[in-house]
Structure 1
């Protein structure tokens, strides 16, 4: 994450695509969840053109 995601906040993530990295607007997949900058996330849904819903990746 390059920007915090949480209630009332739109964050940003860098996603590896086609051998490079692209920025996407990010929202929490679970309502009310907050993820700070630097959190490793899993993209669980994509909505064109540049929006993703993410969950924290643990493990």
Structure 2
């Protein structure tokens, strides 16, 4: 999961549990995960492209804004 890219579908920020859709090639599709910001204080709004920095099974990821 680490390094996979996705898009924010529910605001991610301090004190919030957001949601992201992540493309998972092994499962041939896109899946929803609960998301927290990887960088303290970072706020990611809906539509922001993100990269998975940490994965905690079964459905939680820590994400950061994707560059470029």
Normalised by the length of structure 1, the TM-score is 0.94
| Correspondence for 1:23 among 2, 26, 32 | 32
The size of the alignment, in residue pairs, is 59
Q: Secondary structure of the residue that 1:38 maps to in structure 2?
A: coil
Unpaired segments ≥5 residues, structure 2? 1-7
The alignment's C-alpha RMSD in Å is 0.7
Question: Runs of 4+ in structure 1 displaced over 2 angstroms?
Answer: none
Unpaired segments ≥5 residues, structure 1? none
Higher helix share: 2
